[in-house]
Every structure is written in structure tokens, then in C-alpha cells.
């Protein structure tokens, strides 16, 4: 096992660790550890809400979750010699749930998928599913099953939802300006268009007093992916992946967390992955001046992981950029097209006895493939969603006999 450079006791909040992590992006948050290029090391992570969600049959904890301290990140890890303009080469060697532990915190033998309430987080289909729901998943080695979605078992495509480098002060100011401009177009929208800096709940490693107040006032929230990486939720950052992060500050300052046991493309329920705490093993290196050398001017580039579940047969669903209820056409809008592909998949799964909420949770968590299939055939963008048939213990392929309907229980609901 590589040296643990950031350790977490899962029985304690991130605030109470020997070296606390952080939950905002800001260049002033000091490095928790320093490694050399070429180093292999382990980072331990809390689940993204810092352990607010329980292994139970009620979604009240999802409904009432406090999003102010999210995401709870491990780090920053400084890399010796890293300078602005470099590319930080990050190999994901291994990752998984909390090793050899069962217990009450996500990652201790189990994880969860949540549909967040429209009033508190929302999600891709929040206009159709405005209330909170939850599915608990039990881990069996690399496979997951859920008492809340029976009839399904799949191998997780385990990956980190969120890693990134620290922004420079200049880059952080750019983010805050452009996101505030977006918020200003509809400041009372629910869910909000973006999340501005928020002082309550801010954790900035060991910082206190004025230094903490500065991070709280300026620090960027961790929800979106940005030029530093961040919350990509790319399921293919699995074992064997190599990510090239732009370096914006001395040392690079790599941080992250939000480990996922599995996730479908799009992570459509907002917390659609199977969320967990756990460990991640890295190897790091530098490409000096790599941003200019390779024309990496905005976002990271990456080579996907080479260890993934092998599913070879799919039933696939198509969506186009049309609101079918109002017969309204949207011009080449891939978001609307993918939403329709998801809704079509949910309607199909309902014919087998699943509730819409169960199907929505499953599409967030299982290793489904989402594709932007066409964006030139005016006026309709076309997206598709590939659902592996082999994750079900019954046949979901369409046949002349019709769907095999059964009582498939229910996910956790809120009271």
C-alpha cells in the first residue's frame, strides 16, 4: 500500500480530522502534504456530504441535507516543482470504498444514490421528480445490489467524481464574475442557476480568523467542473486513467473526493452516482510548460481508465430536442435531447414494475452509456442512452410476449 499522505477517520467529521480538508476552491488554502514528481501515494476521502446520509429506508436525510459544507474534499496535495503553465499528470492507480471496514458511514460496505428535492439541490429531471428519494447499495466486492431496486446487480465503474488543482486568484475572480452574471439573469430561480461563494459552512483546512473569512467570502463552490478540473463526474476516471490537470498556482495543489462506486453517464439525479467515502491511490508527474506545449488552454485532458465492467448488449433509448407535451421545438439542444432519452428509458422500465423513482435512481447509478449522437441535423439534436441488459436478472429486451411485470418494491421515500 502506498504511503497515506491524507488520512481520514470515518468516525469523525472532516472538520475534526487531525489535518482537516476543505470545501471551497481558493489558492490560500495551504497544502496538507507535499509529494515529489514520480511519487505514489494514497489519499483517503469522506463521502461528499461528510457523512450526512444514513443506511436506512427513509429519504428524509436526502431531503434535509445541508449542502453548505459540500463537497468535503481531501487535500490540497502540493507537488514539488509544479508551476503555473505546467500540466500535472495524475494517474489513478486504484480506488475503492473504505478498506476492510463495515459501519454506518457511506463507503463502509455500502453507498447510496439520492434524488434531491427541487427545493434542495434538484437534479436533471427535477421538474418530473421534485421530491427526495434514495436507494442504498450494498457492496459485494466490485458488485453492487440494492434492496430498494431489486432485480439488478452490476459491477461498479469506480471513479472519483471530483479532483482538481487550485485556481489562481485571477482565475477564481473570473469564475465568480461569470457565475454571478449568470445568477443575475434569474436570481430567484429554484433550483438556482449557479452557487455563489457562501460563508456558512466553509472549511479551509487549518485556516481560522481573517484567513478563513477571506476564503469563505471568495472561495468557489465545488459543484461545477471548471478550468481546474473539479466536479467532472466522468465515470471513465477509473483505474488506469491518466488525467492532465492545468496548474494555476505553485505546487499545483491537487484536491478532491466525492468517490463513486458506480455512475451512469450524466449522473442524472444530481447525486446519481453510488456515493461513498474511501481511498484513492495516485502517481503524479509533471509536464513542464505542458499547457502551452499541448494547447491545453481551458480544461484538463485525460486518457480513460482501462479497467471497466464489460457489458456487450444494450437496449438503447433515443431523445430529440423537442418538448413532446407542448409540441415545442428547441434548436439543437443536447440537454433536452438527453433528458428525453432518460424519460423514455424510465417509461420503458416502468412497464416491468419499477416505479419512476426507482428507474431514475438506477439510470443515475448503473454503468449506462450516454452519447451525443447528432448535433447537426437541424432542428433536432439527438442523444442516446445505452442501458446494459445484463445488469438485470430478468430479460428486459422487447419481445412479442410483452414485459415481465412484477412487484419490484420501492425506493426509500421522504415522509
CB nearer Zn ion, residue 48 or residue 245: 48
- Mask: binding to Zn ion, 253-292, rule CB under 5 A, as x and -? -----x--------------x-x-----------------
As measured in angstroms, the least distance from the Cβ of 404 to Zn ion is: 33
CB closer to Zn ion out of 27 and 114 = 114
Q: How far is CA 356 from the centre of its chain?
A: 22
By CB under 5 A, how many residues form the interface with Zn ion?
Answer: 5
Name residues contacting Zn ion, limited to 319-348 (CB under 5 A): none
| Only segment of 13-21, 160-168, 173-181, 284-292 that touches Zn ion (CB under 5 A) | 160-168
C-alpha 169 chain-centroid distance: 25
Minimal distance, residue 258 CB to Zn ion, in Å = 4
Nearer to Zn ion, 265 or 275 (CB): 275
* CB contact at 8 A, 92 and 280: yes
* Grid cell listed for 188: 430567484
Give the residue among 247, 238, 255 at the shortest CA–CA distance from 89.
Answer: 247
Least distance to Zn ion from the beta carbon of 62, Å? 13
**All residues at 6 or more sequence positions from 83 whose CB lies less than 8 Å from its CB, including other chains:** 247, 250, 288
Strand partners, 245: 88
Q: CA–CA separation, 55 vs 112, rounded Å?
A: 8
Minimum separation from the CB atom of position 79 to Zn ion (A): 25
Shortest CB 192 distance to Zn ion, Å = 19
Shortest separation between residue 272's beta carbon and Zn ion, angstroms:
8
Angstrom distance (rounded) from CA 342 to CA 320: 11
The residue count of the chain comes to 415
Q: Which is nearer to Zn ion, 61 or 258 (CB)?
A: 258
Tell me whether residue 286 or residue 368 sits nearer to Zn ion (CB atom). 368
Helices (H), 308-408: 334-350, 356-365
Q: C-alpha dihedral over 126, 132, 133, 138, to 10 degrees?
A: 110
Using the minimum distance from each CB to Zn ion, give the nearer residue, 271 or 296.
Answer: 271
Shortest distance, position 72 Cβ to Zn ion, whole Å: 11
Q: Would you say 136 or 291 has its CB closer to Zn ion? A: 136
Rounded distance between C-alpha atoms, residue 396 and residue 346, angstroms: 13
Site string for Zn ion, 26-65 (x = CB under 5 A): ----------------------x-----------------
Q: Which residue is nearest to Zn ion (CB)?
A: 161
Nearer to Zn ion, 61 or 86 (CB): 61
Phi, psi for 246 (deg, rounded to 5)? -60, 140
In the block, residue with C-alpha cell 464489460:
310
> Shortest Cβ distance from residue 56 to Zn ion (Å)?
19
Cis check: omega of the bond before 76, within 30 degrees of 0: yes
Q: CA quadruple 130, 156, 308, 90: dihedral positive or negative?
A: positive
Q: Which of 69, 161, 251, 266 binds Zn ion (CB under 5 A)?
A: 161
Q: How far is the CB of 118 from Zn ion (least distance, A)?
A: 19
**Cα(321)–Cα(330) distance, rounded to whole angstroms?**
5
The nearer residue to Zn ion, 73 or 87, going by C-beta atoms, is 73
Beta strands in 177-241 (DSSP E): 225-226, 229-230
Q: Which of residues 98-127 bind Zn ion (CB under 5 A)?
A: none
Residues that bind Zn ion in the complex, under the rule CB under 5 A: 48, 161, 258, 273, 275
Amino acid at each position: 500500500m502506498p504511503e497515506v499522505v491524507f488520512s481520514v477517520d470515518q468516525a469523525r467529521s472532516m472538520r475534526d480530522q487531525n489535518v482537516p480538508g476543505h470545501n471551497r476552491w481558493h489558492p490560500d488554502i495551504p497544502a496538507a502534504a507535499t509529494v515529489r514528481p514520480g511519487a505514489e501515494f494514497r489519499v483517503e476521502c469522506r463521502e461528499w456530504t461528510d457523512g450526512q446520509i444514513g443506511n436506512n429506508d427513509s429519504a428524509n436525510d436526502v431531503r434535509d441535507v445541508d449542502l453548505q459544507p459540500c463537497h468535503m474534499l481531501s487535500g490540497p496535495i502540493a507537488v514539488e516543482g509544479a508551476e503555473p503553465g505546467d500540466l500535472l499528470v495524475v494517474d489513478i492507480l486504484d480506488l475503492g470504498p473504505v478498506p476492510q471496514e463495515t459501519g454506518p458511514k457511506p463507503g463502509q460496505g455500502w453507498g447510496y444514490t439520492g434524488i434531491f428535492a427541487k427545493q434542495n439541490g434538484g437534479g436533471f429531471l427535477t421538474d418530473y421528480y421534485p421530491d427526495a428519494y434514495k436507494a442504498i447499495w450494498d457492496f459485494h466486492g466490485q458488485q453492487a445490489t440494492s434492496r430498494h431496486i431489486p432485480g439488478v446487480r452490476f459491477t461498479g465503474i469506480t471513479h472519483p467524481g471530483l479532483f482538481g488543482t487550485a485556481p489562481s486568484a485571477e482565475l477564481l475572480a473570473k469564475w465568480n464574475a461569470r457565475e454571478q452574471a449568470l445568477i443575475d439573469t434569474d436570481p430567484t430561480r429554484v433550483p438556482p442557476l449557479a452557487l455563489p461563494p457562501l460563508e456558512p459552512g466553509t472549511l479551509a483546512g487549518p485556516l481560522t480568523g481573517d484567513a478563513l473569512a477571506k476564503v469563505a467570502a471568495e472561495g468557489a463552490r465545488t459543484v461545477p467542473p471548471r478550468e481546474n478540473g473539479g466536479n467532472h463526474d466522468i465515470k471513465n476516471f477509473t483505474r488506469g486513467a491518466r488525467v492532465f490537470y492545468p496548474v494555476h498556482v505553485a505546487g499545483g495543489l491537487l484536491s478532491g473526493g466525492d468517490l463513486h462506486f458506480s455512475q451512469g453517464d450524466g449522473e442524472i439525479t444530481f447525486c446519481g452516482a453510488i456515493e461513498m467515502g474511501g481511498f484513492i491511490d495516485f502517481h503524479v508527474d509533471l509536464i513542464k510548460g505542458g499547457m502551452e506545449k499541448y494547447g491545453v488552454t481551458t480544461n484538463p485532458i485525460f486518457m480513460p481508465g482501462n479497467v471497466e465492467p464489460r457489458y456487450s448488449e444494450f437496449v438503447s433509448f433515443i431523445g430529440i430536442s423537442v418538448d413532446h407535451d407542448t409540441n415545442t421545438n428547441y434548436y439543437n439542444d443536447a440537454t433536452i435531447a438527453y433528458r428525453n432519452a432518460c424519460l423514455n428509458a424510465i417509461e420503458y422500465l416502468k412497464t416491468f414494475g419499477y416505479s419512476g423513482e426507482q428507474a431514475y435512481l438506477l439510470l443515475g447509478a448503473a454503468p449506462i452509456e450516454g452519447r451525443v449522437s447528432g448535433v447537426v441535423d437541424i432542428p433536432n439534436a439527438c442523444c442516446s442512452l445505452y442501458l446494459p441488459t445484463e445488469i438485470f436478472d430478468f430479460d428486459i429486451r422487447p419481445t412479442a410476449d410483452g414485459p415481465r411485470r412484477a412487484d419490484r418494491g420501492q425506493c426509500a421515500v421522504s415522509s
